[in-house]
């Protein structure tokens, strides 16, 4: 007899505040009674700093479409019931985001969204979100926290990784050593970060939207001197760049691939549904 599939818990929170961090990044502060049921993750004895949640959204146009009688689109979504009533194209879809900060005192989480006009599902929702709006999600999951005993840290990524990098920097001791490299569109996209005295922070400005031609992260890391010894690595971002960086760090810099937290948050030219589906195919694999 096969084991039954574990039911994923769907949490529901309310938008309690909204803040424009930069021209293309919006922070939503989410809270409410549902906060108490969230099981936040740790790595060993340390709180995880890349806790990710899978936000649920209805595809565009579903709420205004003619649906079968009795369909309940209130949150939390009854996914089993909706599968019986809706087509695959009408079902809620997930978008993965990092929790920027957990505020236990006020029972809130912060989630930062990259917004590019009317492109995307989650970004468009965040841009138009108002206090009182509801959002539901699965998670969180995680697998990384900076080790206090690591001799040197490498943190790197693009805008999508900025919340996790910022969270990691805030959790480090002041004597932590290493470098954090963040690629953004331009200087207006910088954010004030709490950086330990022993860590260097490098901002890379594309001066354009992301493209394979404008991105600078991989080339910068190829020229970066990484010391020998116990180096902890957290590098996340666009899929093609992550493949290139992984090969470089392992083949040229001699780092242990199994000791790195390195993965793709997104893929250029793909919406998340395509990106997630491709993870099960050779093109979606970071490792060769």
Q: Of 102, 121, 141, which residue sits at a domain end?
A: 141
Q: To the nearest whole percent, how much of the chain has pLDDT over 70?
A: 91
Number of structural domains, the chain?
A: 2
Q: Over 70: is that where the pLDDT of 112 sits?
A: yes
Read off the pLDDT band of 279 (50, 70, 90). low
3-state secondary structure of 254: coil
- Quick one: residue 199, left, alpha or beta (phi over 0 = left, psi -120 to 50 = alpha)? beta
Residue 2 counted as domain residue: no
Query: Which class for 235: exposed (0-12), middle (13-18), buried (19 or more C-beta within 10 A)?
Result: buried
Terminal-to-terminal C-alpha distance of the chain: 36
Q: Of 103, 118, 141, which residue sits at a domain end?
A: 141
pLDDT by residue (tens digit) across 144-191?
999 999 999 999 999 999 999 999 999 999 999 999 999 999 999 999
Same domain, 213 and 270: yes
Query: Which class for 131: exposed (0-12), middle (13-18), buried (19 or more C-beta within 10 A)?
Result: exposed
Residues near 192 by beta carbon (within 8 Å), at least 6 away in sequence: none
> What are the residues facing 30 on neighbouring strands?
15, 109
Same domain, 120 and 167: no
Same domain, 113 and 168: no
176: domain range? 152-279
Same domain, 240 and 269: yes
Using alpha carbons only, how large is the chain's radius of gyration in Å? 20
Give the CA dihedral 129, 134, 137, 143, nearest 10 degrees: 60
pLDDT by residue (tens digit) across 67-110?
999 999 999 999 999 999 999 999 999 999 999 999 999 999 99
Same domain, 19 and 132: yes
Same domain, 247 and 173: yes
Read off the pLDDT band of 64 (50, 70, 90). confident
Read off the pLDDT band of 1 (50, 70, 90). very low
Which of 176, 269, 179 is CA-nearest to residue 217? 179
Same domain, 129 and 16: yes
Q: Of 96, 120, 141, which residue sits at a domain end?
A: 141
pLDDT by residue (tens digit) across 11-55?
999 999 999 999 999 999 999 999 999 999 999 889 999 999 999
Residue 147 counted as domain residue: no
Same domain, 85 and 31: yes
CB 70 within 8 A of CB 56: no
């Amino acid at each position: 007899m096969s084991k039954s599939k574990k039911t994923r818990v769907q949490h529901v929170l309310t938008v309690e505040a909204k803040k424009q961090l930069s021209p293309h990044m919006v922070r939503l502060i989410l809270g409410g009674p549902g906060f108490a049921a969230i099981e936040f993750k740790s790595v060993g004895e340390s709180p995880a700093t890349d806790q990710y949640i899978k936000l649920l959204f209805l595809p565009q146009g579903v709420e205004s479409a003619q649906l079968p009688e009795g369909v309940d689109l209130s949150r939390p979504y009854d996914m089993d019931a909706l599968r019986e009533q809706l087509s695959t194209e009408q079902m809620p879809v997930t978008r993965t985001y990092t929790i920027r900060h957990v505020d236990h005192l006020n029972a809130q989480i912060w989630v930062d969204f990259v917004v590019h006009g009317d492109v995307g599902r989650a970004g468009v929702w965040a841009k138009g979100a108002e206090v009182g709006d509801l959002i539901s999600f699965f998670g969180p999951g995680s697998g990384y926290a900076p080790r206090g005993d690591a001799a040197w840290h490498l943190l790197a990524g693009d805008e999508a990784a900025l919340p996790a990098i910022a969270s990691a920097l805030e959790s480090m001791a002041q004597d932590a050593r290493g470098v954090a490299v963040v690629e953004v569109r331009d200087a207006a996209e910088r954010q004030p970060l709490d950086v330990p005295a022993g860590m260097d922070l490098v901002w890379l400005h594309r001066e354009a939207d992301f493209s394979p031609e404008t991105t600078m992260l991989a080339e910068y890391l190829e020229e970066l001197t990484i010391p020998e010894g116990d180096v902890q690595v957290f590098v996340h971002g666009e899929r093609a760049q992550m493949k290139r960086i992984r090969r470089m760090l392992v083949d040229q810099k001699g780092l242990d691939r199994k000791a790195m937290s390195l993965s793709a948050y997104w893929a250029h030219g793909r919406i998340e549904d395509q990106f997630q589906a491709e993870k099960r195919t050779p093109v979606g694999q970071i490792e060769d």
